[in-house]
Amino acid sequence: MYVCVHGLPSVWTQESTCHLIETNIRDQEELEGKKVPQYPCLWVNVSAVGRWAVLYHTEDTRDQNQQCSYIPRSLENYQVARADVEKVRTNFHEHRIFYCFSTTRENETTVLYRRLYGPQTLLFSLFWPTFLLTGGLLIIAMVKINQSLSILAAQK
């Protein structure tokens, strides 16, 4: 049985050039009145496909928290998370023009920095089950051939 990745097909299929407009690190104090996680939040605005857009790191980032463009890996320690967000922010300021993925929808104002569910994901998710199924069938065939040959050898 094959199970496809939930993000396929992705709507962010068009590769675009993004120009950095601004970055902002939001802390909990800056977002009063809203339910906000206990970690620093990087917000990135870019210009892509001739319009203003919000950049998200991946599809999952957008699903986890629409107020954050980037969510740090380590959420246990605030200082480590803050350093991670600062490093990503610095990288954006050093490379103000970069490739991103946008959608062909007219009213969409979000773009992705990196796609998690691209065509290679589909290929990978189909390759391993097919490889394992074929390997299992070959093992069964070799056992059956071995049984047949041993029966023939015993009859002689």
Q: Residue 38 class from Cβ within 10 Å (0-12 exposed, 13-18 middle, 19+ buried)?
A: exposed
The whole-angstrom separation of Cα 30 and Cα 40 is 10
Cα within 13 Å of Cα(134), Cβ side: 6
Q: What is the mean pLDDT of the chain?
A: 81
Return the structure tokens found at 7.
């993000």
What stretches of 11-118 show up as alpha helix (H) in DSSP?
59-64, 78-94
pLDDT at 143: 97
Summarised one tens digit per residue, pLDDT across range 41-77 is: 788 888 876 778 888 888 888 888 888 888 888 778 8
The whole-angstrom separation of Cα 92 and Cα 20 is 7
